[in-house]
Structure 1
Amino acid sequence: MSTRLAAAAALVLFVLGAVVQIWSPRVGLTLMLLGVMVGLASITFMQRTLQRRLIKHERLLGTLQRSVTQGTNKVHRAVEAGNKQSGKYGASLMRRTQDVNDRLKHGLPAGAAPAASPAPAGAGAPRPAASAGRASTPEVTNPFTNETLATMLTPQRVLAVGGIFDPRPLPELTARPWLPGEVVPALERDRPDLILLDEQALRASAVWSSATTGVGTALMRELLEGVSWAESHKVPVYLLRSALPPDVHTAALRRSSAVSLPLGPEELEAAAGAPQTSLLSHLQEIATDRTEGHA
Structure 2
Amino acid sequence: MNAAAFAVNLAATAGAALVVMLAAFAVGLRTGRHRGVDVAWGLAFTAIALTGYALSANYGGGAGGGLRRALATALVVVWGLRLAAHIARRGRGAPEDPRYARMLARAPAGRRTAYALRKVYLLQAAIAWFVSLPVQAAQYLPDPPGAVVWAGVLLWAFGLCFEAVGDHQLARFRADPANRGRVMDRGLWAWTRHPNYFGDACVWWGLFLLAADAPVGWACIGGPLLMTWLLAFGSGRPMLERQLAAGKPGWAEYAARTSSFLPRPPRRRVRTGGADGA
TM-based fold match above 0.5: no
Higher helix share: 2
User: Higher relative CO (CA 8 A, sep ≥ 6), structure 1 or 2?
Assistant: 2
- TM bucket normalised to smaller: under 0.3
Larger radius of gyration: 1
Q: Under a length normalisation based on structure 1, what TM-score does the superposition of the two structures give?
A: 0.26
Q: Under a length normalisation based on structure 2, what TM-score does the superposition of the two structures give?
A: 0.27
